[in-house]
Structure 1
Amino acid sequence: MCEKMNAGENCQTLVGYSAVYKVCFGMACFFLLFALFTVRISSSAGCRAAVHNGFWLLKFIVLVACCTGAFFIPEEEIFLEVWRYIGAAGGFFFLLIQLRLLVEFAHRWNTNWSSGVAYNRLWYAALALVTLLLFSGAVAALVFMGVFYTDPEACFLNKVFLGVNGGLCLVVSLLAISPCIQKLQPTSGLLQPGVISVYVMYLTFSALTSKPKECERNSGKHLQAHSCPQTCLITTCSRINNNKDL
């Protein structure tokens, strides 16, 4: 991008993964500041609560200032090295929270639709159809990544990720319908592991598309003729494009 734009030698500091880290650092500082500012607020009538619920223009200016200031951090290499590990740890805990919320959502979804079966059998058909679609999507994604993101002579790590994640999804699905789980959770079914399997395949796809060079021969060449599905998937996780050079 910098070469095409003839933007000069300092252009690289404004684009690529380093820019993503710096913007994320500025946003993290902003939200940490407001998290500390709103500690122990017990009423919406206080002045701190008023700042939290209003002053949007001022807060936006502070946010922009934090993100802009991050680009002037000295010792960029040290900052990026440290922030990379902080970002990895934060991302790990964020994914755990997402998985917890997804499991809770799928559990309530399954419970609500299962309770409707007593009044109308169509609820059972709808539940079975959605479950089938979820697992079909997960299997299709697994096959897609196995075809376009692996190679018989390379891509060993990609194969490990696909094998481990696919195997874990299968194990979770079998456990969900096992007698011991059914005894403890009578409403447990295949909908919950179906939702989790699709989400895990999405995360796996995000990881594989971020892995540079090794598998470009297989994925790059063949995906040119299959650009539509990849374009749709990359659109949903566009942040991956900023990390491809990481």
Structure 2
Amino acid sequence: MCLTVACEAVCCAGTQICNLACCCCKYFAETTLKEQIKLAYILLNYLIMAFTVIALYYIQDFYINYLQYFGCPEGISNLCLGISGIYRMSFVLTIFYIIILLFMCQKGWLAKMINDGLWLLKLIFIAVFFYGTLYMPNRFFEVFVDISIVASGIYQLFQIIIYIDIFYLWAEKWARMYDDGIEGMGSALVAAASLTFTLALILNIYNFIWFDHNYIINLINIAIIILLTVVQLFGFNPSGSLLATGCISCYITYQTFSALSSYPNADINIFYDSEKNMKVQMFVNGILNFIALIYIIFATQEQSKQALAILDKSNEKKRSNQNSNQQIEIEMTSTQQMNEAKALIEQIELQPYSTNQYIVFHIVMTFCSMYMAMMITNWGSPSIRVGTFELYMPSQLSYNVKIGSSWICSGLYFWTLIAPRVLPNRFN
């Protein structure tokens, strides 16, 4: 009896927390419930990882008197703090989203209940599971770090594609507004494009100043920007825009800066042990990742509206067929009307779960949970086996990944510029 009451209390508390968060989100952003739930998961990831960094990295002295209760591995009482704690929390969140993903495959009311509610139980699960990982040996998490590096590379490629799409959508929307005769949009387009190219130029200049020993990488980056701009001006892609090219130029230049500042040589890298550079990159990467996740939330908004419209048309057609077949107008009772309304509401509520929307979203969040650990630790640079608490250290791996990201992004964007000319039949 007591257990039943306790479970009901926990579920009720979790529901109220979720409802309060959703009300605040809806008040400020006027989002739908589906978008609010997805946003809640994104904020959950960010808040938990931020808490982990602060609690296990910046205020480690607080735990000195409590380390005996942590059961840290290898007999070293503080080895489960710092960098090890980041990997442990990333592992917990990864398993958390895999479990929810399994429930999403059910595609019914159980999936909806697990996804939309039980938030307090979810927080308790994460906290208890994390405490349990403190008793797991670091050898296990070395394997998890290797898996996370591969998964994060895939997620990074996914993020690059998203950003190319975002830059195109931004440029296309402003171009349509200009074509519709909205006052000031021509000046806004010119100003935005000029600003992006100016920012890219300034950062390239500073890259030459800060990393004068790696000038070849900077020259390659500038050559790529010039090539993309020239190709865009040929107009092979009707949707191409200087604004999108300017945004890509800023993105690849930042990735080049991030790579050069991660080069594992203190003699030619002035940011080798710079804590300020570490914080700036973590903040910028966090913002970039958050924007990509927000895009995922609202990318399917139009598709959802179309699905609901099809659903409404289907119901309208059924009613029309019923009238034509019976040749008379049936007076429905209030009970029948209520049952029909409930059935329609139920159908609409379950519509996102009957598709793969939430399955795809939780797959993305699974990869994101591993990527966030790589983002915080500069692609697993600090060793988990030593008692160091360094979070963001230069390494050859992080250098290669970031340079590779810059060049892959340039290559993909270049392809979008020439694809309509190379494959005209497909695009026509």
Give the structure-1-normalised TM-score: 0.74
Which range moves more in the overlay, 103-112 or 128-137? 103-112
Q: Which residue of 1 aligns with 2:194?
A: 132
Once the two structures are superposed, the pairs formed by residues 92-103 of structure 1 within 5 Å of their partners are 92-103=153-164
Letter paired with 2:85: A
In the alignment, which of 79, 99, 105 is matched to residue 141 of structure 2? 79
Q: Which residue of 1 aligns with 2:87?
A: 21
CA contact 2:263–2:272 (8 Å) conserved in 1? no
- Deviation readout 1:35-90 (Å, 9 max, x if unpaired): 1221141x4xx12311210000101111223333333322x24632x333322222
Change (3 A) 1:234 1:99: closer
Q: Which residue of 1 aligns with 2:169?
A: 108
Change (3 A) 1:30 1:208: farther
Change (3 A) 1:173 1:68: farther
Once the two structures are superposed, the pairs formed by residues 56-205 of structure 1 within 5 Å of their partners are 56-74=119-137, 76-77=138-139, 79-80=141-142, 82-118=143-179, 119-120=181-182, 122-148=184-210, 150-152=211-213, 156=214, 159=215, 161-179=217-235, 181=236, 185-205=237-257
Deviation at 1:192, TM superposition (A): 1.4
In the alignment, which of 47, 50, 60 is matched to residue 113 of structure 2? 50
Change (3 A) 1:233 1:135: farther
SS of the residue 2:270 aligns to: helix
Indicate yes or no: 2:396 matched with 1:242. no
Alignment size in residue pairs: 225
Letter paired with 2:245: P
Give the structure-2-normalised TM-score: 0.45
The percent of aligned pairs where both chains have the same amino acid is: 20
Letter paired with 2:208: G
Q: Which residue of 1 aligns with 2:317?
A: none
Deviation at 1:216, TM superposition (A): 6.8
SS of the residue 1:68 aligns to: helix
Indicate yes or no: 2:81 matched with 1:11. no
Gaps of at least 5 residues in structure 2 are 1-56, 68-75, 287-375, 379-389, 396-428
Change (3 A) 1:67 1:201: farther
Whole-angstrom distance in 1 between the partners of 2:266 and 2:203: 20
Q: Which residue of 2 aligns with 1:35?
A: 101
Whole-angstrom distance in 2 between the partners of 1:217 and 1:100: 30
Letter paired with 1:32: I
CA contact 1:27–1:66 (8 Å) conserved in 2? no
CA contact 1:169–1:197 (8 Å) conserved in 2? yes
Change (3 A) 1:78 1:47: closer
Whole-angstrom distance in 1 between the partners of 2:77 and 2:392: 19
Q: Which one has more relative contact order, counting CA pairs under 8 Å at least 6 apart?
A: 2
Change (3 A) 1:86 1:169: farther
Q: Which residue of 1 aligns with 2:371?
A: none
Letter paired with 2:88: K
Letter paired with 1:11: N
CA contact 1:142–1:201 (8 Å) conserved in 2? yes
Q: Which residue of 1 aligns with 2:18?
A: none
Letter paired with 2:227: V
The alignment yields a C-alpha RMSD, in angstroms, of: 3.4
Change (3 A) 1:203 1:191: same
Change (3 A) 1:230 1:72: closer
- Deviation readout 1:138-196 (Å, 9 max, x if unpaired): 22222223322x253xxx5xx565444444343333332224x2xxx323111112222
Larger radius of gyration: 2
Letter paired with 1:10: S
